[in-house]
């Protein structure tokens, strides 16, 4: 393994990324588009780009992911892709009849300067978009940002292209769930239902990327956020944006364009972040928190108290999306654990400042890098070993080389199942996270214990 040659000595790198902690914008845009009912994502670029994005998502979700492509060749690369996209829009509506085509750009179409909004408008004027159907778009060049940026840009494209204001509030709360799993979106909706709060959650991949096997293939499952609901986001009472990096831009646009007040929150991972989400939901909707929600919170508190001796002081290294990593780091601190090495591949000015402020009470320095890569994380671990790794599948190589337990979390997870079906947000999700962490740590303890220390009971 090449990772076994990772040097312990750290040298500065400005232009070179090794083992990145991210992937490209169009993947996030494609996920957001799949969260719209009856939507076909469309990659405005070459066939190879679209094939990579689809295969990565299919491997992560273990579901077939459908998307179209403008199929650039040398001609489109030189003269522009307008003709390709116009033909694609007409063909897609004729053959597949989606409600929405969500066009995201790629490196190639961005570099040659294709004006996708202008092309989409030309398609409408030429009658290539049937009445009642929609073409939305987002600018998502792969050479900047990450999949989180692409998700954010497509969410922004959704509200820019679809949201309207009638002047009459609908009494609903918009929730933008961030780059999370379908299971997490289901859990957010369940909490809202428990609190009897009417919400418009968008995008919503639950039932799309974790649907059942029925024996009948549906290209467009009866799931995702309906177009009529997306239009109604301009009339909502408020918007709760879960995750500053993935959700805030769309929420801010709804505020500036339609005066729908935004509340920017962390992903509700762990006790404190879920408390803030429930409280913000309570205030925005003007409801009280029911006993059923308080009961679930109490269960999480009970497990946290019971398992504290096994978690206290354990050092953790985390890699992943900034919204995910921020919430995880806070939860680990509440559990008494020490997040000592933290990297994200998504750029953002406030990330390092936020982590340093959060970990300031630990009484020891913390390594943080934004944007960083997993090569640097590996070097940090060589200099200061940790008890646990948390991140996506690509961390398994570091875990094996350094003999460290790994809890898979984030994107992509290519070699395990469960993330699409079992949430890690909310109080129930917090219980699952603790269970996964404890399993990893206690399995390692059992493996390494002597015969006299091999306990039957924790």
CB of 410 within 8 A of CB of 280?
Answer: no
Residue with more model confidence, 74 or 424: 424
With respect to residue 42, please indicate whether it lies within any of the assigned structural domains.
yes
| H/E segment holding residue 264 | strand 262-265
Q: Is 305 in the same domain as 210?
A: no
Among candidate residues 292, 325, 348, the one where a domain is terminated: 292
pLDDT for residue 66: 94
Q: What is the pLDDT of residues 207-232, one digit of tens each?
A: 999 999 999 989 999 999 999 999 99
Residue 419's nearest CA partner among 187, 261, 231, 183 is: 183
Together in a domain, 271 and 182: yes
The token pair that represents 14 in the structure block: 């400005």
Handedness of CA 56, 435, 384, 341 (dihedral sign): positive
Across the range 107-121, mean pLDDT stands at 94
Are 278 and 306 found together in one domain? no
| pLDDT tens for each residue of 48-66 | 999 999 999 999 999 999 9
Q: Can you spell out the DSSP letters for 109-140? A: HHHHT--HHHHHHHHHHTT-S-TT-EEEEE--
- Predicted pLDDT at 420: 97
pLDDT-derived band at 350, boundaries 50, 70, 90: very high
CA-to-CA separations, 35 to 159, 208, 271, in angstroms, rounded: 13, 7, 27
Question: Residue 147 and residue 164: Cα distance in Å, rounded?
Answer: 27
DSSP, res 390: E
Burial grade of 57 (CB within 10 A; 0-12, 13-18, 19 or more): buried
The Cα–Cα gap between 182 and 158 comes to: 18
Task: State whether residue 72 is helix, strand or coil.
Answer: coil
Within 10 A of 167 (CB to CB), how many other CB atoms are there?
6
Binning pLDDT at 50, 70 and 90, where does residue 1 land? low
Answer yes or no: is 456 within a domain. no
- Is there a single domain that holds both residue 276 and residue 143? no
Residue 67 and residue 130 share a domain: yes
CATH number, domain with residue 286: 3.40.50.1980
Residue 379 backbone dihedrals phi, psi, to 5 degrees: -65, -40
| Residue 422 forms part of a structural domain | yes
Task: Say whether pLDDT at 86 is over 70.
Answer: yes
Domain that includes residue 420, residue range: 2-16+294-448
Contact between 137 and 29 (Cβ < 8 Å): no
Final residue before a domain boundary, out of 142, 162, 182: 162
Question: Average pLDDT, whole number, for the chain?
Answer: 96
Length of the chain, please? 458
Question: 167 in a domain, yes or no?
Answer: no
Is residue 281 one of the residues assigned to a domain? Answer: yes
> Is cis: bond before 371, omega within 30 of 0?
yes
**Residue whose entry in the numeric block shows the structure tokens 């400005």:** 14
Q: Is residue 5 scored above 70 in pLDDT?
A: yes
Q: H or E stretch including 355?
A: helix 351-358
Is 454 part of any domain?
no
Residue partners of 213: CB distance under 8 A and separation at least 6: none
- Does residue 150 share a domain with residue 184? no
Residue 245 · residue 252 · CB < 8 Å = no
Alpha helices per DSSP H over 164-290: 182-194, 227-232, 244-258, 271-285
Rg (CA), the chain: 23
- Within-domain flag for 168: no
**307 and 383 within one domain:** yes
The first and second tokens of residue 419, run together, are: 């993330």
Q: Model pTM?
A: 0.96
Residues 312 and 394 in one domain: yes
Q: For 361-401, how does the pLDDT look when each residue is reduced to its tens digit (9 = 90+)?
A: 898 999 999 999 999 999 999 999 999 999 999 999 999 99
Query: Mean of the pLDDT values across residues 17-38?
Result: 96
From the list 276, 349, 335, 327, the residue with the least C-alpha distance to 305 is: 335
Inter-residue contact 267 to 180 (CB < 8 Å): yes
Q: Which of the listed residues 273, 292, 311 is the one where a domain comes to its end?
A: 292
| Confidence band of 67 (pLDDT split at 50, 70, 90) | very high
Both 12 and 30 in one domain: the answer is no
Range 277-296 burial, b when 16+ CB lie within 10 A, else e: bbebbeebbeeeeeeebeeb
Among residues 277, 275, 267, the alpha carbon closest in space to that of 304 is found at: 275
Tell whether 442 and 300 lie within a shared domain: yes
What is the 3-class SS of 219-250, one letter each residue? CCCCCCECHHHHHHHHHCCEEEEECHHHHHHH
For the ranges 45-49, 77-81, 223-227, 348-352, which has the lowest average pLDDT? 77-81
Task: State how many domains the chain has.
Answer: 3
Same-domain status, 157 and 281: no
* Contact indicator for 309, 408 with CB cutoff of 8 Å: no
Q: Tell me, yes or no, whether 249 and 367 share the same domain.
A: no
């Amino acid at each position: 393994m090449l990772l076994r040659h990772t040097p312990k000595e750290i040298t500065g790198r400005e232009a070179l990324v090794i083992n990145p902690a991210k992937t490209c914008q169009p993947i996030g845009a494609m996920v957001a588009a799949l969260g719209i009912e009856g939507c076909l994502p469309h990659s405005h670029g070459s066939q190879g780009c679209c094939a990579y994005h689809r295969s990565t998502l299919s491997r992560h979700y273990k579901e077939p992911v459908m998307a179209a492509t403008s199929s650039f060749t040398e001609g489109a690369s030189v003269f522009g892709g307008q003709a390709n996209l116009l033909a694609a829009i007409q063909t897609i509506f004729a053959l597949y009849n989606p409600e929405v085509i969500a066009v995201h750009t790629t490196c190639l179409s961005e570099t040659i300067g294709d004006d996708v909004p202008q092309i989409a408008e030309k398609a409408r004027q030429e009658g290539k978009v049937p009445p009642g159907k929609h073409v939305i778009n987002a600018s998502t060049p792969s050479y900047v940002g990450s999949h989180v940026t692409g998700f954010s840009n497509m969410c922004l494209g959704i509200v820019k292209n679809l949201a309207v204001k009638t002047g009459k509030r609908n009494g609903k709360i918009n929730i933008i769930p961030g780059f999370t799993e379908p299971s997490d979106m289901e859990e957010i909706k369940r909490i809202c239902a428990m609190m009897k709060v009417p919400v418009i959650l968008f995008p919503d991949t639950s039932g799309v990327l974790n649907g059942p096997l029925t024996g009948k293939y549906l290209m467009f499952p009866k799931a995702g956020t309906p177009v009529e609901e997306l239009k109604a986001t301009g009339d909502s009472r408020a918007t709760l944006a879960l995750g500053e990096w993935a959700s805030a831009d769309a929420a801010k646009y709804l505020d500036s364009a339609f005066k729908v007040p935004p509340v920017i929150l962390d992903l509700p991972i762990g006790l404190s972040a879920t408390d803030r989400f429930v409280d913000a939901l309570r205030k925005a909707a003007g409801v009280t928190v029911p006993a059923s929600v308080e009961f679930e919170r109490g269960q999480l508190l009970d497990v946290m108290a019971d398992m504290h001796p096994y978690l206290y002081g354990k050092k953790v290294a985390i890699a992943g999306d900034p919204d995910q990593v921020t919430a995880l780091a806070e939860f680990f601190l509440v559990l008494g654990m020490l997040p000592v090495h933290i990297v994200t591949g998504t750029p953002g000015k406030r990330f390092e400042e936020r982590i340093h402020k959060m970990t300031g009470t630990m009484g020891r320095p913390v390594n943080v890098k934004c944007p960083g890569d997993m090569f640097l994380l590996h070097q940090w671990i060589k200099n200061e070993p940790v008890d646990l790794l948390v991140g996506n599948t690509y961390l398994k190589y570091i875990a094996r080389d350094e003999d460290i337990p790994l809890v898979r979390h984030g994107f992509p997870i290519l070699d395990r199942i469960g993330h699409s079906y079992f949430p890690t947000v909310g109080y129930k999700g917090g219980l699952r996270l603790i269970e996964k962490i404890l399993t990893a740590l206690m399995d390692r303890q059992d493996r390494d214990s002597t015969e006299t220390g091999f306990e039957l009971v924790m």
